[in-house]
Amino acid sequence: LRPAMKRRLLLLSALACACSGSLQGDPEVTSDWQVLEQVAFQEDGQTPWVLLPDSPSGLSLRVTADSEVCFGLSAAEGPAGEELARRFAGQECSDCEVRWSVAVEAAVFVLPRASQVRFGVSDCQTLNPLRRAAGSLRVEAQPVAQLDAPVLPLRMLVTPGSALETDSGERDRLLAALTDELIDSGVEPRLTGVETFGRSPGRLRFHAGDPAELATLVEGHPAREDEVRVVVAGCLEYADPFFGPPIALDGYTPRVVGGAGPADAVFLPDVDCTSSLALAPTPESRGRTLAHELGHYLGLFHADSEGQGDTNLMSPNPSLAAAHGLTPDQVRVLRRHPILQ
């Protein structure tokens, strides 16, 4: 065998045979992530190529950088050397075959097919590529699972005294609405628990390269590998460092794809922050917004850049009456995410 092929076979064997290491601090939870490689950003702001093991179903990577380092894919190649991704100025590469967005400190990348990848440093303010060394990256991997009836475990973090804490009927209606919105995907959302914050957080301001206020909010409720944190609290305001005043949002997912990073969760406001009445959304409208944000978490970008317009759950405005449903391609993408069980 050629050395590169031999190394790929060894890596794949390691992933297949050693995929249940215990997580520190919780002996009941096991991890399917296996360390693949440790690499460093070089002077041009990129890592060397990371060779990936062959996996017929695809491969998920969890990549962890140093504190306050932003990064993304700088290149990805398929088995025949074809380009799948490249460096891009801005938050995401929308026309890459493997779409990706800038990450803060850590990220999950789901690759249906790739033989090798590189990573590049990004400026956390402009989100543009940087040419500088920025420490090291730990790259972990696991094969994409093929599940017949995937379950999406959700842990809800809410404001104390809110209806979602005190009224199980309110939670049931929200979960029913969410299930209805995701029906096309075959994914079953399942609530695993409800936790409360010590106090209402008020207004939360953030942008793609600076999720610090969101990270501070959830730091007392650590992330787990086997569930998604759904945060319903405060008012969400996207504060772009260069363009205009902060914008109130109906929902926010810090990165497409979710699964790693200091603010790894899905965020919803607990009241309508654009109205002086400050009323809570209905469970039905909140369920649709939550389904949209979970779509981002599982790997879906907005549908306007994919030709589906506003007749899709991933419309940029999911509150539109016609914004329902998912395409077969979208379903294939979200069902690859490693959080599904």
Q: How far apart are CA 282 and CA 288, in angstroms?
A: 10
Give the per-residue pLDDT at 28: 52
Residue found under tokens 């309508």: 272
- Specify the 3-state DSSP secondary structure of 183: helix
Q: How far apart are CA 105 and CA 114, in angstroms?
A: 23
> What percent of the chain has pLDDT above 70?
88
Q: How far apart are CA 40 and CA 134, in angstroms?
A: 8
pTM: 0.91
**Helix spans in the chain (H):** 3-17, 163-166, 168-181, 212-218, 283-297, 328-334
Residue 10: pLDDT above 60? no
DSSP 30: E
Average pLDDT over residues 76-99: 93
Radius of gyration of the chain (CA): 20
DSSP 255: S
Give the strand pairing for 100-101 and 59-64.
unpaired
Burial class of 132 by CB neighbour count within 10 A (0 to 12, 13 to 18, 19+):
exposed
Strongest mean pLDDT among 197-206, 237-246, 289-298: 289-298
Whether residue 187 contacts residue 151, with contact meaning beta carbons closer than 8 Å, is answered with yes
Domain 3-143 has CATH 2.60.120.260: yes
Summarised one tens digit per residue, pLDDT across range 240-262 is 999 889 999 999 999 999 999 99
Whether residue 229 contacts residue 271, with contact meaning beta carbons closer than 8 Å, is answered with no
Orientation of helix 168-181 relative to helix 283-297, angle to 10°: 50
Q: Where are the domains of the chain?
A: 3-143, 151-334
For 40-87, give the DSSP string: E--TTSBPPPEE----TT-EEEEEE-STT-EEEEEEEE-TTS-EEEE-
Whether residue 309 contacts residue 274, with contact meaning beta carbons closer than 8 Å, is answered with no
- Sign for the CA dihedral angle at 7, 13, 16, 20 comes to negative
Give the per-residue pLDDT at 29: 55
Give the lowest-confidence range in 31-40, 84-93, 102-111.
Answer: 84-93
CA 48 from centroid of its chain's CA atoms: 25
**Considering only CA atoms, which of 94, 111, 96, 92 is closest in space to residue 36?**
111
Q: Provide the β-strand partners of residue 6.
A: none
- Sign for the CA dihedral angle at 129, 131, 135, 136 comes to positive
**Considering only CA atoms, which of 50, 38, 56 is closest in space to residue 7?**
50
Q: How far apart are CA 262 and CA 336, in angstroms?
A: 22
Q: How far apart are CA 184 and CA 121, in angstroms?
A: 37
Instruction: Give the residue, 5 or 186, on which the prediction is more confident.
Output: 186
> What percent of the chain has pLDDT above 90?
77
Whether residue 261 contacts residue 220, with contact meaning beta carbons closer than 8 Å, is answered with no
Give the per-residue pLDDT at 278: 65
151-334 CATH: 3.40.390.10
Q: What angle do CA 96, 99, 102 make, to 5 degrees?
A: 115
- Specify the 3-state DSSP secondary structure of 209: coil
Q: How far apart are CA 286 and CA 190, in angstroms?
A: 16
